[in-house]
Structure 1
Amino acid sequence: MDRPAAKILITRPREGAERFAMELAQVMPCAMPIVISPVLDIAPLPDLLPLEHVKGLIVTSKNGVDALIAKTDRRDLPVYAVGQRTTAAAAAAGFAARQMGDDADELVEGLLRLGPKAPLLHLRGEVSRGDVAQRLSTHGILTREKVVYAQTPISLTEDAKILLNGTFPVVLPLFSPRSAKLLAQQVTGIAPRYVVAMSWAVASELPQGWAKTIIIASRADSPAMAKGIAGLFDEDGFIVSP
């Protein structure tokens, strides 16, 4: 019986998509065609960063670290981060960075256990989940927030639309709830969709029946996402039936 060939479509913001494509190439059982078509454009905002009286910084993505680096030369404040990559980026920039989990819930729980000096400042994008500042402040760790980068929805490329309107399977790594929601809003094609989601929160943004298969990564990081995608393919590049 014929088995379906497939392509991989990466829809995260451009820099992260290109980085993930390189990671993916290292673990795939064979070379696979990859299409990159972001559904979000990330751009820093020009506002000044209010660091007066701040005792520590919270970053929940590498985008927050990039904005922080661009806005201040100070490196004397501790940085509490979500995820290994975000923590590593802050440390590489010269901050005393500490990973406080892999998502917003783990961050809040970890900071409540740690009891850091306050006030803290959460650097985030225009759209953010987890109510980090509010939850910490409610539990006695005064935390403010500052939007430091824009997240502008953009349309899929023509190549991506052709792919999704075809009949061959499309494998979709989805890293954030917002990207998942924006993608689902744009897709009307009939191509069978195989999703590897970073978390249940990401997968929950997809309409019921939208994907033929949804796999949740074993951890909320890029290596686990890459492993999940690689596991969908055999050494000839065909989808392995779930």
Structure 2
Amino acid sequence: MPLRLLITRPEPAATRMAKDLRGMFPGAEVVVSPLMRIACGGTLPALAAHEVLIFTSRHGIEGFCRLSPRRDLPACTVGCATAAEAQRRGFDVRVVAGDAEALLGRIATKGVAGPFLHARGAHVAADLAGALRRAGHAAREAVVYDQQALPLTDAARAMLDGDAPVILPLMSPRSATLFFEAAGTPRAPLLVAAISRNVAARIPEDVARRVAVAASPDIRALHNVLRDLAKDSKRVESHKGAQ
């Protein structure tokens, strides 16, 4: 039986990831079922002359750019992909870190003073603006997009109702929460690749056969976890076939 993977990221990231995984695992069955739809919108406050923008996702960049023509402001970002998108849009990226906690540390180390504006989604895993204020900085936030929940597709439910193991990459705490709210306890043995410990913490106990956390919160480390889980999936299949 072919390897089975379920992608729940929002579009267009879901389709990009599915293409990458089909290349990594030729012959795999890859089902795309986004659990969120990104809807840009919101309002921005008047921007200070030396405002430092904080982007924790490419969606935040897109949302900001739809609301403001300003591209002359420096930025601090979470993730290399977010940094690359910010640079592509014309922002001067001063600090890049793997996650929100590391970003706060690097801002302090590099002496970036702000004032800061976190352009964020309606749902966030960390209160960056609050943490910066507690550290003595002027910091505020603006919601520039929403992550609207979507149901699992029929194809995703059919995969989860089967007997074969399903590998599930999870990229955010909200994705993890939405998935288990929608899926409950799947019949299929579930092998979860969590991009961070914060994501893994949202997975209910005894629902997944295995939860593996990436060594660092980036796509390269997640791919290493997926390769390991692919081997585990074959062992589960072999064990079931031997019964």
Return the TM-score normalized by structure 2. Answer: 0.90
Alignment CA distance shift 1:141-1:38 (3 Å): same
2:54 corresponds in structure 1 to 58
Query: Structure 1 stretch 15-24 or stretch 147-156: which is displaced more?
Result: 15-24
Counterpart CA distance in 1 for 2:30 and 2:48 is: 45
Structure 1 partner of 2:74: 78
Q: Is the Cα contact below 8 Å between 1:40 and 1:151 reproduced in 2?
A: yes
**Moved >6 Å (runs of 4+):** none
Aligned twin of 2:197: 200
What does residue 188 of structure 2 align with?
Answer: 191
Letter in structure 2 aligned against 1:21 = A
Contact (CA 8 Å) 1:23, 1:226: kept in 2 or not?
no
CA RMSD of aligned residues (A): 2.0
Structure 1 regions of 5+ residues with no counterpart? none
Q: Does 1:147 align with 2:148?
A: no
Paired AA for residue 36 in structure 1 = V
Counterpart Cα distance in 1 of 2:104 and 2:10: 26
Secondary structure at 2:20 match in 1: helix
Residues 9 and 160, structure 1, Cα contact 8 Å, conserved in 2:
yes
Contact 1:172 1:193 survives alignment (8 Å): yes
SS in 2 for 1:178: helix
Q: Does 1:127 align with 2:123?
A: yes
SS of the residue aligned with 2:222? Answer: helix
Question: How many pairs are equivalent?
Answer: 236
Higher helix fraction (1 or 2): 2
Indicate if the aligned counterparts of 1:20 and 1:222 stay in contact, CA closer than 8 A.
Answer: no
- The alignment's TM-score, normalised by the length of structure 1, stands at 0.91
Q: Distance in 1 between matches of 2:233 and 2:175?
A: 26
Contact 2:43 2:142 in 1 (8 A): no
Maintained 8 Å contact 1:115/1:141: no
Query: With CA pairs under 8 Å and 6+ residues apart, which has the higher RCO, 1 or 2?
Result: 1
Q: Which residue of 1 aligns with 2:88?
A: 92
Please report how far the alpha carbon of residue 46 of structure 1 lies from its aligned counterpart in structure 2 after TM superposition: 4.3
Query: Is the contact between residue 3 and residue 27 of structure 2 (CA under 8 Å) also seen in structure 1?
Result: no
In structure 1, the residue matched to 2:106 is: 110
Q: Relative to 1, partners in 2 of residues 1:24 and 1:98: Cα closer, same or farther, differing over 3 Å?
A: farther
